[in-house]
Amino acid sequence: MKRGFLVSPEPRKSDCELLGNISAPPKRPRALVQIPGHKEPPPELLHAVPIDEATARHGVVTTKIPPAAPGWAPDPDMYTCVMIFKGMKEKLLALPGFPTPFFTPTPPVYAIKPAGKRYGGGFGLVATADINVGDLIVRERAIIICPGWMPIPRGQDGKADLGMYTTAMEFQLGPERMAGYFALSNCFGKQKSAFHGIMDTNSLPIGGLPGYTGGCGGVFKEISRANHSCRPNAIYSWDLVSFTGQLRALQPIKAGEQIFLAYLSSDAPRAARQAEMLSKYRFTCRCAACSLSGSYAQYSDLRRTLIALQANATAELRKTDADVAAWAMNTALPDRMLIEPAEIWLNWMLGERSMNPMLLAAVFSRLCKAYAALGDEEAVKRYATQAAALEKAFTGSDGGWLVVASAPRDSAWWGLRQITREDEHRS
């Protein structure tokens, strides 16, 4: 998912400045529930230091995370071979509690099965149980993690020779884990060595690691098997402190359905998406969104373009409280003034499954506050429940939305429009 566009260079004039200058709803003694607001992007990772080229060229260290403790019965799947630069391992192991314990659903809620011709005769993840939005599908340690930029050793003939990396990886992980790596697909065929091709075909983003600003990638035995869709039903995320990747459902998945990830940002129009997939993964995407024809395809492209444009206007949504309070306390404004645009936009995002977690949170926040101000308990419950499930898909926790869903009347926003009307009537 593309996240960089969230940073807007200049805050734009928001609705609240046009509507009035109210920053929050009036304090009410019964207000017990806080409706979550917009989210800021996460801070930069842990004092990262850029690695210069000379260090990178001579300083690659191959190690195993977590380090094997003496006397442990080794479970190969718990270990990751990490190729990092000197000094990074110490920083990683110094993280408080690192690596924290984790769990994955047992028995598994998916199976690895042949995915058919459309997927090059390869495999995919198929649900073996019904999975709800936000539910964990699988959580695991990567087989290997390495920086996006690595020096490539060359043999005497000048060709890339990654044999030393393969040997180092086998030394760290042993043959069983290596077999898991080499069982993954390589869309580059003979254009790249097996080690390199599998890495570039299956790598998922890890973000930075302590001590390194550049992005890293990780290859997973299970998650990397998921096929791509521009309209995915699952989302991958990385958790540094447990050193695991996780896959969660973005929409209800029925037993027997294939589980899909979006390999690339999915808010570009179809032609651009397909060109990028062909260039990076050597296939022409025929997913549900790419298979649309005629006006349906045009509609999909239009919605994605609008979502991307709207995403640039996050500054508008950062003043949600002021917007909603100004509207709630001005009964001359239409009841659905803030709700209608937010619902339209939410439906575009859900329809295309082109979702940005920070923008989604801002939209859900606006909808729950506005509906609470209107005294519509059913609508607040519905949107807060939906927000909780999607928040769980993105972060693993409900983000405080379930409390809102359980007690809409206990929010400071509850009935604010009605109270304002009654005050006007009395005066």
Residue among 230, 370, 387, 390 that touches Zn ion (CB under 5 A): 230
Q: Of the ranges 254-262, 285-293, 348-356, 390-398, which one interacts with Zn ion (CB under 5 A)? A: 285-293
Residue closer to Zn ion by CB (options 64, 118) is 118
Q: Of the ranges 38-46, 71-79, 279-287, 309-317, which one interacts with Zn ion (CB under 5 A)? A: 279-287
Q: Under the phi-then-psi rule, with left for phi > 0, alpha for psi from -120 to 50, and beta for the rest, what region is 46? A: left
Q: Of the ranges 32-40, 90-98, 152-160, 289-297, which one interacts with Zn ion (CB under 5 A)? A: 289-297
* Binding residues with Zn ion: total (CB under 5 A): 4
Q: Of the ranges 60-68, 222-230, 339-347, 415-423, which one interacts with Zn ion (CB under 5 A)? A: 222-230
* Distance, C-alpha 318 to centroid of its chain: 20
Q: How many CA atoms lie within 13 A of 308 on its CB side?
A: 14
Cis peptide leading into 66, omega within 30 of 0?
yes
Q: Of the ranges 74-82, 189-197, 283-291, 352-360, which one interacts with Zn ion (CB under 5 A)? A: 283-291
- The set of residues, in sequence order, having a beta carbon less than 8 Å from that of 351 and lying 6+ positions away, is 303
How far is the C-alpha of 54 from the C-alpha of 35, rounded, in Å? Answer: 50
Residue closer to Zn ion by CB (options 230, 373) is 230
Q: Of the ranges 68-76, 223-231, 236-244, 393-401, which one interacts with Zn ion (CB under 5 A)? A: 223-231
Q: How far is the CB of 300 from Zn ion (least distance, A)?
A: 10
Using the structure block, give the residue that is written with the tokens 């206007």: 313
Residue closer to Zn ion by CB (options 22, 230) is 230
Q: Of the ranges 65-73, 164-172, 281-289, 350-358, which one interacts with Zn ion (CB under 5 A)? A: 281-289
Residue closer to Zn ion by CB (options 287, 368) is 287
Residue closer to Zn ion by CB (options 287, 363) is 287
Structure tokens at 259: 């589980």
Structure tokens at 132: 């709800």
Q: How far is the CB of 118 from Zn ion (least distance, A)?
A: 11
Q: How far is the CB of 284 from Zn ion (least distance, A)?
A: 9
What is the b/e burial string over 117-132, where b = at least 16 CB atoms within 10 angstroms of the residue's CB?
eebeebbbbbbeeebe
Partnered with residue 65 across adjacent β-strands are 80
Q: Is the dihedral of CA 322, 323, 327, 330 positive or negative?
A: positive
261 in contact with Zn ion (CB under 5 A): no
How far is the C-alpha of 392 from the C-alpha of 399, rounded, in Å? Answer: 7
Residue closer to Zn ion by CB (options 35, 230) is 230
Q: How far is the CB of 116 from Zn ion (least distance, A)?
A: 16
287 in contact with Zn ion (CB under 5 A): yes
Q: How far is the CB of 353 from Zn ion (least distance, A)?
A: 11
CB-based contact 194:202 (threshold 8 Å): no
Q: What is the dihedral of CA 378, 352, 230, 218, to 10 degrees?
A: -40
DSSP reduced 3-state for 421: helix
Q: How far is the CB of 280 from Zn ion (least distance, A)?
A: 13
Q: How far is the CB of 232 from Zn ion (least distance, A)?
A: 10
Residue closer to Zn ion by CB (options 290, 379) is 290
Residue closer to Zn ion by CB (options 144, 287) is 287
How far is the C-alpha of 119 from the C-alpha of 351, rounded, in Å? Answer: 24
Q: How far is the CB of 283 from Zn ion (least distance, A)?
A: 10
Cis peptide leading into 107, omega within 30 of 0?
yes
290 in contact with Zn ion (CB under 5 A): yes
Q: How far is the CB of 287 from Zn ion (least distance, A)?
A: 3
Residue closer to Zn ion by CB (options 22, 349) is 349
Structure tokens at 242: 């447990």
- The set of residues, in sequence order, having a beta carbon less than 8 Å from that of 80 and lying 6+ positions away, is 64, 65, 141, 142, 143, 144, 145, 218, 243
CB-based contact 311:359 (threshold 8 Å): yes
Residue closer to Zn ion by CB (options 290, 405) is 290
Q: How far is the CB of 68 from Zn ion (least distance, A)?
A: 42
How far is the C-alpha of 56 from the C-alpha of 53, rounded, in Å? Answer: 5
Binding site for Zn ion (CB under 5 A): 230, 285, 287, 290
